[in-house]
Amino acid sequence: MSFDDGPGIDLFQYFPGIRRFLAARHHYAQLRTLGDILFVLVVISGFWGPQSANENFSVFLTWGLLWPTIVLSWFFVGRMWCGICPFPGLGVFLQKKGLCLNLPIPKWLQDKGVYLSVVLLGLIIWVEIVAGLDHWPRGTSYLVLSIVMGSAILAIFYPGQAWCRHLCPLGRMTGAAATMSITEFRANNEKCRGCKTLACKRGNDQKDGCPVYLGAISVRHNLHCLVCGHCLPLCDRDSPQLLLRNPYIELIKNQGRYITCTYIVPFLMGSQLARFLRGKDVYTEYSQSLNLPDSIIFSVTLIVCSFFVLWLIRLGARLFGVAKDPICGHLSPMVPVLIPMAFTGELVYRMEFFSKGIGDFLPTIGRQFNLPFLELFYFKIPAFPVDVLSAFFMMNGVIAGGYILWRFAIVEFSEYLDMKSFIGINLIIMALLFCYLAVIF
């Protein structure tokens, strides 16, 4: 079986040190502790430090270093960041102290959580831009604390990490991005055959089960698994695997069935176009001519761009000629074609903020803590190499989407997709690329 379509290469087999690292829970505890320390530093500095972004390190640490790093990690380790994320820390602490009602997860949360998380994601992006959180230390602290409180409230009512599984907007976006990760965490079904305990999911007398109610045995895709290694010491059959795979094979196989991606992708791409456009002179001139608050103008721009992308997706779906699977129901095959562009677009957006601020990060620390010698380390990254790298990333997203479309055309949808429709979908992809390049440059 080929690497393209097979189960992939088990990295645990060739690099057993990776398995030992993940199975040794103290390693994850150390990483989570580091994340908690950074989180506390951001909150303290945001609330009680200077409120000027060039005199408070918390802003760039959050938006310029941590968030771009998380975005970059999506392409390699999926949702592994969620395994060490500090946001559920307070809830986990409360549960260890016995402050949990252990109620069953309600059906409405399981069924409607995806819609609520997309709304929350939209709210976060809107607040980030309109409130200028990337230049407002205290606002950044308010945001991260609000997410912590949401996670803690659910932890009091429900066992495990219900927030991470059903409501977290950042986790939902990360899960959608993880569908194109080059790695996947899966069980070896042959070794799982006949297992009666399901310890990887339920836990045992010594250890709790999977924090997001999966366990290796239930993992079928990258949307929900945190790649935290929690189930490794629980499994007595050595079943869990960390597989190196074709990063687009999951998108090809799901054919647009993931409802998470169906809702995340059009909004995320629309928000990127709106965010890039907001930084252009034409946007500023138009805003001034209308004499309206930026919150209203950006909101309208965000809605228009999101509906524009949604319209293109629906146009592409019509060209595919199939919108329903007789077994799995709704299909949106245009979504997996656009996923690589959607998440490379997010990487480009975050990389732009990183490149503009990294040269002033150490001087900012110097200004905050009265260390003037750190001004000597100031530097500026020229715009040209960043633009070239941005164009390279976007082109890679387009090429990846073209590869997925080609696989659809010759295998999955060969009976529906004729040459005319194939060319039409490619034109849609190129139109989106042109829009991205226009607003980026």
DSSP-derived 3-state class of residue 16: helix
Q: Which amino acid is at 23?
A: A
Q: Please, are residues 78 and 184 in contact by the beta-carbon 8 Å criterion? A: yes
Angle at Cα 281 formed by Cα 138 and Cα 50, nearest 5°? 20
Query: Could you give the 3-state DSSP secondary structure of residue 187?
Result: strand
Per-residue pLDDT at 327 = 44
What are the helix and strand counts (H, E) for the chain?
Answer: 21, 5
Which stretches of the chain drop beneath a pLDDT of 70? 1-6, 323-329
**Residue located via tokens 């959608």:** 176
Scored b (16 or more CB within 10 A) or e, 19-38 reads: beebbeeeebeeebeebbeb
Q: Compute CA 189 distance to the chain's CA centroid, rounded to the nearest angstrom.
A: 28
pLDDT of residue 416: 83
419-440 and 383-407 helices, crossing angle to 10°: 160
| Distance separating alpha carbons of residues 248 and 245, to the nearest angstrom | 8
| Residue 267, pLDDT score | 94
Neighbours of 384 (CB within 10 A): 8
Rounded to two decimals, the pTM is 0.92
Where does 178-317 show beta strands of DSSP type E?
Answer: 183-187, 240-244
